[in-house]
A = this chain, B = another copy of it.
Amino acid sequence: MENIFTDDYFMKKALHEAEMAFEKGEIPVGAIVVVDNRVIARSHNLTELLNDVTAHAEMQSITAAANFLGGKYLKDCTLYVTLEPCQMCAGALYWSQISKVVYGAYDEHRGYRKMGAQLHPKTTVVTGVMEQECGALMKAFFQKRR
């Protein structure tokens, strides 16, 4: 039987979250956390609505997943996020010791790699999953705003 639970399958769910952010006038980034092919957290960027720079999609999903699991470590979890995490989110992911991070579009300006921040050495990283779709939503947002 074909495995439907691919990285694309889950990234589409993160992208759906990003679209919800877009519709609210937020920079369109979405994230979900998955454990054993089950989505245990989903969120999208809410920095404008909440007036809070810490309200990135990843931060909310990390907190929600920890609440769901009843523990602060996300050792058997995968985070899917439509945009490369910033240094804040990479730092939170570092502390969570998450198993795997999958991101879509690259952030060449404020992404954690460019800024010099680090994920946990135990974390597997997969990049560029549905990069075009994730990036297109970002481009559409910034074109609209100009």
Residues of A within 8 A of B (CB): 47-48, 51-54, 59, 62-63, 66-67, 70-73, 86-92, 94-96, 115-118
A134 to chain B: closest CB distance in Å?
A: 20
Q: With a CB–CB cut-off of 8 A, which chain B residues contact A92? A: 53-54, 88
Please name 27 pairs of A and B residues whose Cβ atoms are closer than 8 Å in the assembled complex, sorted by A: A48-B72, A51-B66, A51-B70, A52-B62, A52-B63, A52-B66, A52-B72, A53-B66, A53-B73, A53-B96, A54-B54, A54-B59, A54-B63, A54-B92, A54-B95, A87-B88, A87-B91, A87-B118, A88-B90, A88-B91, A90-B91, A91-B115, A91-B117, A115-B116, A115-B117, A116-B116, A117-B117
Oligomer copy total: 2
Closest B-chain residue to A90, C-beta based? B87
A81 to chain B: closest CB distance in Å?
A: 15
Closest B-chain residue to A48, C-beta based? B72
Given A72-B47, A88-B88, A115-B118: A95 and B53 within 8 A (CB)?
A: yes
Q: With a CB–CB cut-off of 8 A, which chain B residues contact A90? A: 87-88, 91
